[in-house]
C-alpha cells in the first residue's frame, strides 16, 4: 500500500530568462516528516521552495499537494488545464511559508498580522481567528507582544511572529526559506527552538537552511542541492557522516569548524 | 475636424504661433534668471544675515504661498501705483513668475546648503581655507550639483505658469492662440495644437532634467532633493 | 507713493465687500474638493496601471501621467471648457456645453491626477516586495493585497507629499475665474470694475490667499514632521 506523500515535487525545472536555475528536481515529503534542503548560494534552494507554493511557476514539472497537482486541474470534460491565479491562491492556504526577511506587514500589529489571512482568506470570524492567533503566539512564546508593531520587535521575535502567522492558517505543511539567515547569531537559537518543537509535534516541514547542526538533528531526510539538481539525498547520518559526493564533503567541510 | 481644417487654422497661422512661442520662451528665461538670483539672495540673507532673517522668511513664505495668478494680478495692477514699476505688462509677467519661483528656489538652496555635511566645512577650515573660499569652492558647487534637478523642475513650473501672462495681455503663445480662436471661432484645432506644444515643451524640459539627475547621481553619487 | 501705499493698505473696501468675496472663496473650496476627489481616484488608477505586469496597461498609465502632469493648468482649463464639449458633441451629434464649474473640476482634477499618480507610484514601489510575497503565499487575492497591504502602506508613506499636492491644488483653483466661475478672484474683478479701485482689492486678495495658504502649509509641515517621525520609528 503506497501512502500519498503530503508534498511531491516532480521533475521541476525553472528558468529565469536564459538562466536555468532548477534542472529537474524531484522528491517527496511525507506527512509529519522534516526535509532539509542544503546547498551553496546559487544552487537554487530558494527558487525550489518558491516553486513548491507556486510563487514561481515551474517551467516543466509539477508539485503535488496530497496528490493534487498545484499547476493544473481537470475541467468539465476531464482534461487537464492550467490553474488560474485565483485557484492557486486557494491551494496556497494549505502551505505556510516563513521567509528569510520575515515579511511582516509593518502597518499591522503582531496579532493583526497573524489573524489577517485567517479572516480574509479562510473567512473565519474575527473572534475565532483571534483565538487561534493567540494560541499560535503562545506556541512561539510571543503572546506578550501581540499588540506591538513589528518595527519594535527584535529580529528573532519578528521571525517567531512570522512563524505564528503561518501556523494560524493551519497549513498542511510549513515551508521555511533560510529562516535564520537574517538573524544575529544570538537570536537564531530562539527561532530554531521553535522550529524544533514544531518538528517534534509532527509538523510536515521543508526547511532550506545553512544551520547544519539543526538540519542534522531535526530532519528525517536531507537534500543537497547543487547547480539546480539533487546531488545527494538521504537520512541525515548518511549525508553528514558518510557523504558519497565529493562536492558535498567539500561543502560540509566549510561548516565543520 | 479634418486635416484641411488643421492646415488652414494652425499651419497657415504658424508665424503668429511661433512669435507667441518666442515671447513665451523669452518671459520664461528672464523669469528663471530672476528666480535664481532672487532665490539665492533670499536664501543667503535668511541663513547668514541675522537681523534681516525674519523679513527674508516672510518674503519667502509670501512668494511661495500666494497663488501665481493672484501674484500676477497684484504685481501688474498694484505695484505700478505703489512702487512705480513694473513699467510694462511684459515686465510684470516675468517679475511675478520670477518672484514666485524665487520663493521655492530659496528653500531648495537652503536644503542644499544645509545638506552639505558639516565635516566638509571643518576639513576646509582645517586646511586653512577662509569662510568665503570654503563657501565658493566646497559648499556651493555641491549645492549646485545636488539641487540642479530641482532647479530644472522649477523651470517647468515657470513654463506652465507662463500661460497666465496672456491674461495681462502679454503676446505669448497662449495669447496668440486665443486671439486666433476669437478670429476664426474654431477652437478645436488651435487649442489642441497649443496644448500639445506646451505639453511637449514641458515634457522635453523635464526629461532633460531627469537625464541630468541620473547623470549627476551616477557621476557624483549625490541624491537630488525635490 | 505713500498716498498709493495708504490706498493699497486701506483694506476697508475689501472688508466692505467681504460678503461677496467670501462667497467667492467658498467656490474655490468647492472646486478644490471636487477636483481633489477626481485627482485622487484618477491618480490612483493611473499609478496602479503603471505598475501593472501587462505592457499596454503600463503604457496607458504612463501616457495619462505624462499628458496631464506636463500640461499647464490654464490651457487645460480652456481646452476642457471650449474644446471638449465640441468633441463630445461631434460624437453624440448634439450640442454640448459644460457649466464652468464642471470644466474647472475636470480640468484641475485631471492635471492633478498626474501629480498624484506619481506620488502613489513612488509609494507603491517603496513597498518591500517581500510584503507582497508573504501576502501571496497566504493565498490572498490581488484585490485583497491591494486594499489590505499595499494601500495602507502607500498612504502612510506618502501622506505628507499628498498633503503638499492638495495645497498646490487649492492654489491652482484661483484660475477658475478665467472661465467665469464666480470665485474670489472673479468677485474681486467684478468689484474692481464697479469701484475702479484695484489697489486695496487685489492687495486684500493677495493677503487673504497668503494667510489661508500659510495656515494650511504650516499645518501640513508640522503634521508631516510628526507623521514622518511616527511612521519611520
A210: its cell numbers: 545553512
Query: Nearest to residue C164, comparing CAs of C72, C36, C46?
Result: C36
Q: Which domain range does residue B192 map to?
A: 3-220
8 Å CB contact of C139 and A106? no
Residue A5 has pLDDT above 90, yes or no: no
B108: its cell numbers: 531648495
Per-residue pLDDT at B225: 45
User: Chain C contacts of B62, Cβ < 8 Å?
Assistant: 210
Nearest-Cα distance to chain C for B75, in Å, is 9
Tell which B residues from 74 to 93 touch C, by Cβ distance under 8 Å.
74, 77-78, 81-84
| DSSP 8-state symbol, A224 | E
Per-residue pLDDT at C14: 78
Instruction: Please give the CATH topology (third level) of the domain spanning C2-232.
Output: MetI-like fold (1.10.3720)
Per-residue pLDDT at B164: 96
Q: 3-state DSSP helix/strand/coil percent for chain A, to nearest 5?
A: 40, 25, 35
Full-model pTM: 0.82
CATH classification of the domain holding B37: 1.10.3720.10
Higher confidence at residue A242 or residue C181? C181
pLDDT bucket at A156, cuts 50 / 70 / 90: very high
Residue B225 in any domain: the answer is: no
User: Chain C contacts of B195, Cβ < 8 Å?
Assistant: 71, 75-76, 79
- Whether residue A82 contacts residue A72, with contact meaning beta carbons closer than 8 Å, is answered with yes
- Domain count of chain B? 1
3-class DSSP assignment, residue A211: coil
Nearest to A103 among C131, C148, C152 (CB): C131
Residue B226 in any domain: the answer is: no
User: Chain B contacts of C190, Cβ < 8 Å?
Assistant: none
ipTM of the shown complex:
0.90
- Whether residue A171 contacts residue A94, with contact meaning beta carbons closer than 8 Å, is answered with yes
B145: its cell numbers: 550639483
- Lowest mean pLDDT, pick from A239-248, B11-20, B45-54, C155-164: A239-248
Tell which A residues from 105 to 134 touch C, by Cβ distance under 8 Å.
105-107, 116-117, 120-121
Q: Return the axis-axis angle of helices A126-139 and A155-167, rounded to nearest 10°.
A: 130
DSSP string of A153-207, one letter each residue = S-HHHHHHHHHHHHHTT--SEEEEESTTTTS-HHHHHHHHHHHHHHHHTT--EEE
Q: Which run of H or E residues covers position C159?
A: helix C151-172
Per-residue pLDDT of chain C (233 residues), as tens digits, is 567 676 666 778 778 888 888 999 999 999 999 999 999 999 999 999 998 889 999 999 999 999 999 999 999 999 999 999 999 999 999 999 999 999 999 999 999 999 999 999 999 999 998 899 899 999 888 888 989 999 999 999 999 999 999 999 999 999 999 999 999 999 999 988 888 888 888 988 999 999 999 999 999 999 999 998 887 75
8 Å CB contact of B82 and C199? yes
Per-residue pLDDT at B224: 47
Q: Which residue of C has its CA nearest to B174?
A: C75
- Whether residue B74 contacts residue C205, with contact meaning beta carbons closer than 8 Å, is answered with yes
Per-residue pLDDT at B222: 55
What mean pLDDT is predicted for residues A26-46? 91
Alpha-carbon gap, residue A94 to A84, rounded angstroms: 17
User: Chain C contacts of B65, Cβ < 8 Å?
Assistant: 171, 209-210, 213-214, 217
- Residue C182 CA, distance from chain mean position: 18
What mean pLDDT is predicted for residues A162-176? 93
User: Chain C contacts of B69, Cβ < 8 Å?
Assistant: 174-175, 185
B124-154 residue pLDDT tens = 777 777 778 778 877 888 888 888 889 999 9
Alpha-carbon gap, residue B141 to A13, rounded angstroms: 54
B192: its cell numbers: 489642441
Q: Which residue of B has its CA nearest to C177?
A: B69
Per-residue pLDDT at C152: 92
pLDDT bucket at B193, cuts 50 / 70 / 90: very high
8 Å CB contact of B77 and C175? no
8 Å CB contact of B194 and C202? no
- Whether residue B106 contacts residue B155, with contact meaning beta carbons closer than 8 Å, is answered with no
Q: How many residues does chain A have?
A: 257
Residue A238 has pLDDT above 80, yes or no: yes
Per-residue pLDDT at A2: 64
Q: Taking CB atoms and an 8 Å cut-off, how many pairs form between chains B and C?
A: 114
The edge-to-edge listing of strands for the beta sheet with A7-16 is A19-29, A7-16, A60-65, A68-69
Amino acid at each position: 500500500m503506497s501512502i500519498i506523500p503530503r508534498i511531491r515535487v516532480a521533475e521541476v525545472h525553472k528558468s529565469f530568462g536564459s538562466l536555468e536555475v532548477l534542472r529537474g528536481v524531484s522528491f517527496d515529503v511525507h506527512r509529519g516528516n522534516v526535509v532539509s534542503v542544503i546547498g551553496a548560494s546559487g544552487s537554487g534552494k530558494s527558487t525550489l521552495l518558491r516553486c513548491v507554493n507556486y510563487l514561481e511557476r515551474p517551467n516543466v514539472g509539477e508539485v503535488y499537494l496530497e496528490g493534487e497537482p498545484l499547476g493544473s486541474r481537470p475541467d468539465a470534460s476531464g482534461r487537464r488545464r492550467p490553474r488560474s491565479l485565483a485557484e492557486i491562491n486557494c491551494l496556497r492556504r494549505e502551505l505556510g511559508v516563513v521567509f528569510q526577511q520575515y515579511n511582516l506587514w509593518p502597518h499591522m500589529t503582531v496579532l493583526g498580522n497573524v489573524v489577517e489571512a485567517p479572516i480574509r482568506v479562510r473567512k473565519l470570524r474575527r473572534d475565532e481567528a483571534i483565538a487561534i492567533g493567540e494560541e499560535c503566539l503562545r506556541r512561539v512564546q510571543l503572546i506578550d507582544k501581540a499588540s506591538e508593531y513589528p518595527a519594535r520587535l527584535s529580529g528573532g521575535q519578528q521571525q517567531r511572529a512570522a512563524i505564528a502567522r503561518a501556523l494560524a492558517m493551519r497549513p498542511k505543511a510549513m515551508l521555511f526559506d533560510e529562516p535564520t539567515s537574517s538573524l544575529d547569531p544570538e537570536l537564531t537559537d530562539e527561532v530554531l527552538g521553535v522550529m524544533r518543537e514544531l518538528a517534534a509535534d509532527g509538523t510536515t516541514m521543508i526547511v532550506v537552511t545553512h544551520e547544519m547542526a539543526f538540519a542534522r538533528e531535526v530532519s528525517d531526510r536531507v537534500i543537497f542541492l547543487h547547480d539546480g539538481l539533487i546531488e545527494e539525498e538521504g537520512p541525515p547520518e548518511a549525508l553528514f557522516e558518510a557523504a558519497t559526493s565529493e562536492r558535498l564533503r567539500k561543502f560540509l567541510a566549510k561548516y565543520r569548524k | 475636424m479634418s486635416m484641411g481644417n488643421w492646415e488652414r487654422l494652425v499651419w497657415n497661422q504658424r508665424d503668429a504661433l511661433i512669435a507667441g512661442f518666442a515671447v513665451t520662451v523669452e518671459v520664461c528665461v528672464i523669469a528663471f534668471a530672476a528666480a535664481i538670483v532672487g532665490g539665492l539672495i533670499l536664501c543667503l540673507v535668511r541663513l547668514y544675515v541675522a537681523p534681516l532673517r525674519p523679513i527674508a522668511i516672510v518674503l519667502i513664505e509670501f512668494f511661495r504661498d500666494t497663488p501665481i495668478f493672484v501674484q500676477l494680478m497684484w504685481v501688474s495692477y498694484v505695484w505700478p501705483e505703489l512702487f512705480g514699476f513694473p513699467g510694462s505688462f511684459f515686465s510684470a509677467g516675468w517679475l511675478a513668475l520670477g518672484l514666485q519661483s524665487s520663493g521655492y528656489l530659496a528653500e531648495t538652496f537652503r536644503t542644499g546648503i544645509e545638506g552639505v555635511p558639516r565635516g566638509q566645512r571643518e576639513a576646509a577650515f582645517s586646511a586653512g581655507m577662509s569662510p568665503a573660499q570654503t563657501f565658493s569652492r566646497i559648499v556651493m558647487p555641491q549645492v549646485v550639483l545636488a539641487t540642479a534637478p530641482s532647479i530644472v523642475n522649477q523651470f517647468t513650473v515657470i513654463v506652465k505658469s507662463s500661460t497666465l501672462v496672456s491674461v495681462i495681455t502679454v503676446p505669448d503663445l497662449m495669447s496668440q492662440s486665443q486671439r486666433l480662436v476669437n478670429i476664426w471661432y474654431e477652437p478645436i484645432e488651435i487649442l489642441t495644437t497649443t496644448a500639445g506644444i506646451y505639453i511637449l515643451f514641458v515634457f522635453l524640459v523635464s526629461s532633460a532634467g531627469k537625464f541630468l539627475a541620473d547623470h549627476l547621481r551616477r557621476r557624483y553619487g549625490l541624491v537630488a532633493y525635490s | 507713493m505713500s498716498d498709493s501705499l495708504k490706498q493699497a493698505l486701506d483694506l476697508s473696501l475689501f472688508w466692505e465687500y467681504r460678503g461677496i468675496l467670501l462667497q467667492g472663496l467658498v467656490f474655490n473650496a468647492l472646486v478644490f474638493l471636487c477636483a481633489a476627489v477626481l485627482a485622487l481616484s484618477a491618480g490612483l488608477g493611473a499609478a496602479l496601471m503603471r505598475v501593472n505586469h501587462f505592457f499596454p496597461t503600463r503604457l496607458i498609465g504612463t501616457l495619462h501621467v505624462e499628458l496631464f502632469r506636463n500640461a499647464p493648468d490654464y490651457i487645460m482649463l480652456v481646452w476642457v471648457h471650449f474644446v471638449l464639449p465640441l468633441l463630445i458633441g461631434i460624437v453624440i451629434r448634439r450640442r454640448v456645453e459644460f457649466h464652468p464649474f464642471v470644466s474647472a473640476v475636470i480640468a484641475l482634477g485631471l492635471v492633478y491626477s498626474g501629480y498624484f499618480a506619481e506620488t502613489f507610484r513612488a509609494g507603491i514601489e517603496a513597498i518591500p516586495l517581500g510584503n507582497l510575497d508573504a501576502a501571496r503565499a497566504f493565498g490572498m487575492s490581488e484585490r485583497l493585497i491591494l486594499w489590505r497591504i499595499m494601500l495602507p502602506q502607500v498612504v502612510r508613506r506618502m501622506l505628507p507629499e499628498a498633503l503638499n499636492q492638495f495645497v498646490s491644488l487649492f492654489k491652482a483653483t484661483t484660475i477658475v475665474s478665467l472661465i467665469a466661475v464666480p470665485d474670489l478672484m472673479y468677485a474681486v474683478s467684478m468689484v474692481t470694475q464697479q469701484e475702479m479701485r484695484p489697489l486695496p482689492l487685489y492687495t486684500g486678495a493677495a493677503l487673504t490667499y497668503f494667510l489661508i495658504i500659510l495656515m494650511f502649509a504650516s499645518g501640513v509641515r508640522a503634521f508631516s514632521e510628526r507623521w514622518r517621525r511616527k511612521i519611520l520609528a
